[in-house]
Structure 1
Amino acid sequence: MKMIWIAVIIFFTACTVREKPTARFLSHPDVAASCPYITHDAAGNLAISWIETDTADNSYIYYTVSADQGETFAAPVQVTGSAGVYPHDENLPKVLFKPDGSIIAMFGTEANDARNKYAGKVMYTQSFDSGRTWQPAMPLVTDTAGYDQRYFDMALLPNGEAAAIWLDNRKVASAEGSTLYFARTNGRNGFGDASPVVETVCQCCRTKLLVDDKGAVHVVYRDIINDSIRDMVHQVSVDNGQHFSPPVRISADNWVVNGCPHTGPTLGVNKTGLHFAWFTMGHGKGVFYCRSVDNGNAYTQKESLSGAPMAKHPQLTVGANGDVYIAWDEPVKVGDDFNSRIGFVHKSPDGKTISSSPLTSDSAYANFPVVGTAGNKVLVVYKQRVGKGTGVACQVLQP
């Protein structure tokens, strides 16, 4: 097993974020690495996954576990059942550790379907021996009428089973858009009981699934409203996904666009309520934030998080003390060209901004960040150019 490639490690405080340090790289050198994702294993240890594509164009999911809150990482594990995973930073693969010790890796592949040349297929593979071996990959949808599935998310339900949402071509309405589907696992039998949640969802932006500490299941996605408006919508279920509340916009941006934004919403929850971040170009441009203190009945007025109008791809997490951390990527001009850097904001539990500063230097090219927690630490993991390739870089922020 190859050892982790680690660059310089520099620690700094999350409250001031004065430094722009070079992060450690978790991916192997001389590969095209992308699509990082942060989660935790069944013991609560930090786990980070990503995709690597080698020079022979072979792509696999890898993941590493840290037993000391990001100080050190174990050698990466290759998810052998993920062969053929298609690297897509909005449709990034997810690894989920169930309480019974099994692991699920879900990922997108190309469908190669004549009915839609851009169609994708969502697959998943399971391990029942702590990642040593993996079952053959299974399609999330076996219905032959379903030829396009993508932009999925997974989360654990209170009973220890996994839930998944995704965008699907199957629908009744003739209007543009996809259908948001929901399914859950049944032990080692994998996913079943799939059911539609809502139709005419924007077909090109990632979705977000969150289960709060009371067991409520939240979904957030970009909807197509009145055939032309593409705004973010929230729904909640209090019966494990059997029924969902009607869709409600988190912000009336009224963004009219006949195209694919390719940047979805993010969501976190703490004792003060729900916290959202998203990209829009309606009534302002860039990454915005709002919250709801009444479980989605009403939402605060949106707040701009970045001065860059084309800031995109926000991701959000809630720390152990309830503080909210949001990262995104934004263009930055360097000479006559543009690079991409990671923006970052730290908010109090009630949404007040404590600090805001870029995490990466203007001279680097970094994008598609994800954020997560490990104990009282916050981590930001992102894709960064390395020579002619890309690596998955990690920064650990210590309050």
Structure 2
Amino acid sequence: MWGSIYSLSIAQIKPLPNPALTNSFTPKLHLSPKGKVYLSWQTKNVNQKHSLWVSSLKGEKWSVPRQAATETQQWFVNWADFPAVTTFGKHSLAVNYLQKSASSTYAYDVMLRISHDKGKTWQKPWVAHQDGTHTEHGFVSLAPASNGRFLAVWLDGRETAKKTGKSHGHSHEHGANKKAMTLRAAFFDGEGNKHAPALLNDWVCDCCQTSVAPTRQGYVVVYRGRSKGEVRDIACQTYKNGQWTSPHIIHPDGWVINGCPVNGPSVSANGNQVAVAWYTKANNKAKVQVAFSDNGGESFSLPTQVNEGSTIGRVACAALPNGDALVVWLETNDTKTFIKLRKVSAQGKAGKIYIVSQTSSARSSGFPQIVVQGKHAILAWTLANKKSKVLKTATYAF
């Protein structure tokens, strides 16, 4: 049955009541420092207008969804570049969404919006980057910070305008004609003021997701890098003592590709125990891999391959208290596509593979999500077919 839950152990993977109606998609999960799970997603109504929603998990039920934003000026809504939610301060939430800045397809801004009453009311949105260029800004990651602030990390295309003299986005060019997509970060307070803006990397892959996780020392950010030889392996930077480190490659897969694969990494941390999962097709061999760090992301173990069958990536991971990790990804056979889940130890031992759900390999099925709360993992994904898209969630007892 399309969309039903399968697993090697029925008792371990359990569907949750659907928090959203049809035409709901692009879920993003957030685990607060207090251990509460939040979920954001988008919907489209009969008038083709989009809205952004937020809910929190209470036991095995989602709270009544609260609308965080609705489309008044045209949004950029994309299967791979989608909103996120984070908690910060005592009772505050922050979300992002993407709003068109010009008629060009890939000219859009990162909009931020905050609520100080758990999502009941929302302040006026603002542009995160404020460079004024009609270029691509997106693939945002959010995380809570100290002193009533939150961290935002995003891909920023302002340099593409400087090189071309016109708007430009989703650059797949290479070599001497490259147009640099950059990675930038900043902290924002409860009034929307920007603090410590930083250019993290001045040349990165153009449309792969970023991912950020708080550690005991600060933060670890992962993304797909880009070299002059068009090697697009996964890069990492950490924030410690008020400073960002220089980029380093987690593992030299050596994937040479003259275009963005739209398949970013996922990072999760528990203290200074960090797990990073990613997709690569180096040497024409598609793999989902996971690597571990016990020093807050300063260095990583050799990767462990997670998939056993044919994979198209779209990964997410969640660190466990003992340093192990749960990884989810999409895997295909001749006729079907499945969301699969596997636990991998920090020593590289891979456990049983579970099927979370049958899905579609189409872009509309998006990217599955996972966070860990206590002894359970919370999963979210978009169930898509030719007629509709609908948000689905489940728990996994590990």
Give the alignment's TM-score, normalised by structure 2.
0.85
Q: In structure 2, how many angstroms separate the alpha carbons of the residues matched to 1:363 and 1:118? A: 25
Q: What is the one-letter code of the residue matched to 1:163? A: L
| Partners of 1:146 and 1:168 within 8 A in 2 | no
Query: 1:299, CA displacement in angstroms?
Result: 3.0
Question: Following TM superposition, by how much is the alpha carbon of 1:124 offset from its aligned partner in structure 2, in angstroms?
Answer: 1.2
Q: Distance in 1 between matches of 2:310 and 2:5?
A: 30
- 2:99 — aligned with what? 109
SS at match of 1:383: strand
Runs (4 or more) in structure 1 with deviation over 6 Å come to: 8-12, 19-22, 362-365
Distance apart, 1:292 and its partner CA:
2.9
Verify: 1:348 aligned to 2:345, yes or no: yes
Kindly report which structure 2 residues correspond to 1:73-222, keeping only aligned pairs within 5 A, or say none.
Answer: 73-80=62-69, 84-114=74-104, 117-145=105-133, 147-171=135-159, 175-214=178-217, 216-222=218-224
Relative to 1, partners in 2 of residues 1:124 and 1:300: Cα closer, same or farther, differing over 3 Å? same
Please tell me the residue identity of whatever aligns with 1:110: K
The Cα offsets for residues 269-309 of structure 1, whole Å up to 9 and x where unpaired, read as 34673221111111431311222344445433322211334
Task: Compute the displacement of 1:146 (Å).
Answer: 6.5
CA offsets, 1:55-81, max 9 Å, x none? 21111111221222xx11222111135
Against the structure 1 CA distance between its residues 362 and 127, is the aligned structure 2 distance closer, same or farther, given a 3 Å change threshold?
Answer: closer
Contact 1:109 1:122 in 2 (8 A): yes
- Name 1:358's counterpart in structure 2: 355
Deviation at 1:198, TM superposition (A): 1.2
State the match for 1:331 in structure 2. Answer: 332
Q: 2:261 matched to which residue of 1?
A: 261
Q: Deviations over 1:319-368 (max 9, x none)?
A: 3454311111222332xxxx421011112354422222221147998552
CA separation in 1, counterparts of 2:219 and 2:35?
21
In structure 2, the residue matched to 1:32 is 23
Shift of 1:228: 1.2
Partner Cα separation in structure 2 for residue 128 and residue 325 of structure 1: 32
Alpha-carbon distance in structure 1 between the residues aligned to 2:224 and 2:19: 31
Total equivalences in the alignment: 378
**CA distance in structure 2 between the partners assigned to 1:72 and 1:397 by the alignment:** 15
When structure 1 is superposed on structure 2, of 198-207 and 58-67 the one drifting more is 58-67
Shift of 1:221: 0.9
Q: 1:217 to 1:45 in 2, by over 3 A?
A: closer
1:348-387 map, 5 Å = 348-361=345-358, 367-385=366-384
Decide whether the 8 Å contact of 1:81 with 1:135 is kept in 2: no
TM-score between the two structures when normalised by the length of structure 1: 0.84
Tell me, yes or no, if the aligned pair for 1:324 and 1:348 is still in contact at 8 Å.
Answer: yes
**SS in structure 2 of the partner of residue 37 of structure 1:** strand
Partner amino acid for 2:318?
T
Looking at structure 2, the residues matched to 390 and 312 of structure 1 have their Cα atoms a distance apart, in angstroms, of: 20
Distance, in Å, in 1 between the alignment partners of 2:125 and 2:265 is 28
Q: Per-residue deviation at 1:259?
A: 1.2
Change (3 A) 1:20 1:376: closer
Q: Is the 8 A contact 2:4 2:357 kept in 1?
A: no
Partner residue of 1:314?
Answer: 315
Structure 2 distance, partners of 1:191, 1:321, is 36
Say if 1:227 and 1:109 are closer, same or farther in 2 by CA, change over 3 A: farther
Describe the superposition over 1:208-255 as per-residue Cα deviations: whole angstroms up to 9, x where unpaired.
1122023x2211111111241111111112123xx3222111111111
Residues 177 and 279 (structure 1), Cα distance of their counterparts in 2 relative to 1, 3 Å cut: farther
> Residue 292 and residue 102 in structure 1: after superposition, are their counterparts in 2 closer, same or farther (change >3 A)?
closer
Change (3 A) 1:11 1:377: farther
Judged with a 3 Å threshold, the aligned counterparts in structure 2 of structure 1 residues 89 and 375 are, in CA distance, closer, same or farther, namely farther
Cα distance change on mapping 1:350 and 1:307 into 2, 3 Å? closer
Please report how far the alpha carbon of residue 109 of structure 1 lies from its aligned counterpart in structure 2 after TM superposition: 2.6
Q: Equivalents in 2 of 1:10, 1:393: separation in Å?
A: 10
Secondary structure at 2:191 match in 1: helix
Report the counterpart of residue 251 of structure 2 in structure 1: 251
Q: What is the DSSP-based 3-state SS (H/G/I as helix, E as strand, rest coil) of the residue aligned with 2:129?
A: coil
2:15 maps to which of 14, 23, 28: 23
Q: Within the alignment, does 1:52 sit opposite 2:47 as a pair?
A: no
Alpha carbons 2:278, 2:290 under 8 Å: kept: yes
CA distance in 1, matches of 2:99, 2:184: 18
Give the match's secondary structure for 1:166. Answer: strand
**Which stretch shows the higher mean deviation, 73-82 or 91-100?**
73-82
Q: Distance in 2 between matches of 1:207 and 1:45?
A: 22
| Residue aligning to 1:238 | 240
Say whether residues 1:394 and 2:371 are aligned partners. Answer: no
Instruction: Work out which of the residue numbers 230, 243, 261 in structure 2 matches 1:228.
Output: 230
Paired with 2:373 and 2:383, the residues of 1 have a C-alpha distance of: 22
Please give the secondary structure, in 1, of the residue aligned with 2:124: coil
CA contact (8 A) 1:270 1:349 kept: no
1:230 partner SS: coil
RMSD: 3.0
**Counterparts of 1:36 and 1:368, CA distance in 2:** 8
